[in-house]
Each structure stands twice: as structure tokens, then as C-alpha cells.
Amino acid sequence: MKYTQLGRTGLKVSRLVLGTMNFGPQTDEPTSHHILDSALDAGLNFVDTANVYGWGENKGRTEEIIGTWFAQGGRRREKTVLATKVYASMAPEGEPWPNHDRLSALNIRRAVDASLKRLKTDYIDLYQFHHVDRRTPFEEIWQAVDVLVNQGKILYAGSSNFPGFKIAQANETAARHGRLGLVSEQCLYNLAERRAELEVIPAAQEYGLGVIPWSPLHGGLLGGAIRKAATSGRSASGRSADALANTAVRAQVQAYEDLLAKHGLEPGETALAWLLTRPGITGPIVGPRTQEQLASALRAVELDLPQEVLDGLDEVFPGPGPAPEAFAW
């Protein structure tokens, strides 16, 4: 496994991030534990989750599954760089209550304690703000983070789904108060969705944040959706089906699959490997539901894409161009 440093921190992390969103809703606990063990054995040490994963009445279930995995011992916790998130309401379904969501100091305090209990650990390596909270000033957020760091409950803070100007605002506020600020940003970024190249990734690079792309296969669209539908006889589903209903998108995805077939490359592995060539990227989040999907993701880390393929991918999925030139009229 290849490793890199998480932004401007001294933390060394694997170049793939194990996403756990499917643990609980789609992958049962024994299988989830098996995937976690296999990932750790392969050197994948960076595990990402969120307090809300499990969804609906099972919110928090994913953190619990990771907690029972840690409880098995074998230095699992010590070998893992653990990231989770705070923002969404954790109040019981149908029982909305003030201060059980967003980024108020009170909710951050409650949420981190609840996550630690579910995760069966006494600290979180990377505590991420799942979304922007326009109602809470960053001065309050950083004050709450300071308390958690001083208590030893978290080591670093990161953001998720932040626009570039909010990354700047957060870190300028932190700097004024002599604080470290954000060390990472988790954003939607893949071959089919490259808008992060305009502001988010440049802002992250300017402030020394590691970038952790989510949905690297764009909901399965970049994982060979057309080929799989043809060979299985089943139509694409979910986000892929919606996207492929658009004639222009379907033609683009077909061109992508044809390019990779010409070079003998697997679509999903190529999409991950492409992200690893991009400036400022720490590592994409992969969310395997099975051992086979994990094995495929691990192969992507070792995949060296020829320049001819990289050029072809840019032709099929052209990005917005470099900022600020891309903003010119």
C-alpha cells in the first residue's frame, strides 16, 4: 500500500480511504468486520465514517460496527487512522429537538461523546464537519474544537462539502486565533464531476488541506455501468440509471468504456487510479460492500496509467480548466 501525509499534518495515511457508509444498511456486521480486517492486512489504515451512517432509525449503527471491530483487540485501533463526522440530526426519527444537529458548541460536545461511545475508543483522529453551518460562527466552532483537542478527544478537524470560500473563511478565522484550522476537505470529485477543480481543490492546496474525494465512481457510473448492464441483462439502477437516461451522458460513458477496453483496463480501477494522479489528492474514499470490491480498489493503487490513457480521459471528460483562467469571460 502507498502512503502519504494528510495535508500539512504529520499523520501518514494510506492512499485509499475505506468508506463505511454501507456497513449496516447493506453489509452485515460479520462481513463488515471481514472487510475491515482485509483492508488493514493490506495496509489500508484510513477509515472514514459519520455519526449519521446507518440512516433512519438506525443512525449510528455504522459507528457501532466499527466499535465492535475495535473491541476485538489485536491493536486494530492503534493501527487505524479514524475519521468521523458531525452535522446531521441524531435525534430519534419524528422527535426533532433543538441542538441535536449542526455545529453549535453544544451539539459538537454531545456528538463527539456519543461517537466515542459507539466507536468504543477514547479519541478520534480526524473529526469532520459534514456540511457548512451558516448559522454558527467559526469562532464558536473553533472554540469547541479547542476544548476537544485539549481533552484529548480529537486530534485534527476537517471539513466535508465545503465550498472554497468557506475553507478560506474557516482557516482565516482559525489563524486569527492561533489555531491549526482545517487539515482536510472531503468533496465530491471524480472524472464525471470535476467542478471541485475550480475553487475547492485550489483553496485546499492554498491552505495545506488534504483532499479526500467521495463518490469516486460517481454512483457506479464510472464502474463499467453500460458493460455490466449488457453482460448481466439487468439495466443500471439508481444514480447510474438516471444519468444514462441522458443521451449525451450515455454517449460519454460509452466512449469512456471503449477507451479503457482498447487498453485492457477496468473502468472502476481506472477511475480510482486517475484520482491518484490529480494534484492535491490524499486518497479517494472507496465503499466496498464485498471482498471482491475491496480487492479491485486495492489494485487501483498500483495501477500506473499511461499518458495516452490520461489524455484520452481528459478528452472524454474535460475538466473546467485551471482557475482562475477558467472563470474568464
What is the C-alpha to C-alpha distance for residues 29 and 61, in angstroms, rounded to an integer? 10
Whether 87 maps to a domain, the answer reads: yes
Residue 251 lies in a domain: no
On the question of a cis peptide bond just before residue 306, with omega within 30 degrees of 0, the verdict is no
Confirm if 206 and 328 have CB atoms less than 8 A apart.
no
CATH number at residue 201: 3.20.20.100
In a domain, 318, yes or no: no
Task: Say what the pLDDT of residue 323 is.
Answer: 81
pTM of the model: 0.95
Is 180 inside any structural domain? yes
Q: What is the pLDDT at residue 174?
A: 98
Between CA 127 and CA 148 the distance in angstroms is: 10
Give a yes or no: residue 238 inside a domain.
Answer: no
Q: What is the 3-state secondary structure (H, E, C) of 16-69?
A: CEEECCCECCCECHHHHHHHHHHHHHCCCCEEECCCCCCCHHHCCHHHHHHHHH
Q: Which of 3, 53, 87, 189 is catalytic?
A: 53
- 87 catalytic? Reply is no
Residue 237 covered by a domain: no
Distance CA 132, CA 118 (A): 24
Instruction: Tell me the chain's radius of gyration from C-alpha atoms.
Output: 20
| Residue range of the domain that includes 42 | 3-218+271-306
Residue 121 lies in a domain: yes
Structural domain contains residue 79: yes
When divided into structural domains, the chain yields a total of 1
Q: Tens-digit pLDDT profile for the chain (329 aa)?
A: 999 999 999 999 999 999 999 999 999 999 999 999 999 999 999 999 999 999 999 999 999 999 999 999 999 999 999 999 999 999 887 777 888 899 999 999 999 999 999 999 999 999 999 999 999 999 999 999 999 999 999 999 999 999 999 999 999 999 999 999 999 999 999 999 999 999 999 999 999 999 999 999 999 999 999 998 888 766 556 677 788 889 999 999 999 999 999 999 999 999 999 999 999 999 999 999 999 999 999 999 999 999 999 999 999 999 998 887 887 65
Q: In whole angstroms, what is the distance from residue 81 CA to residue 158 CA?
A: 13
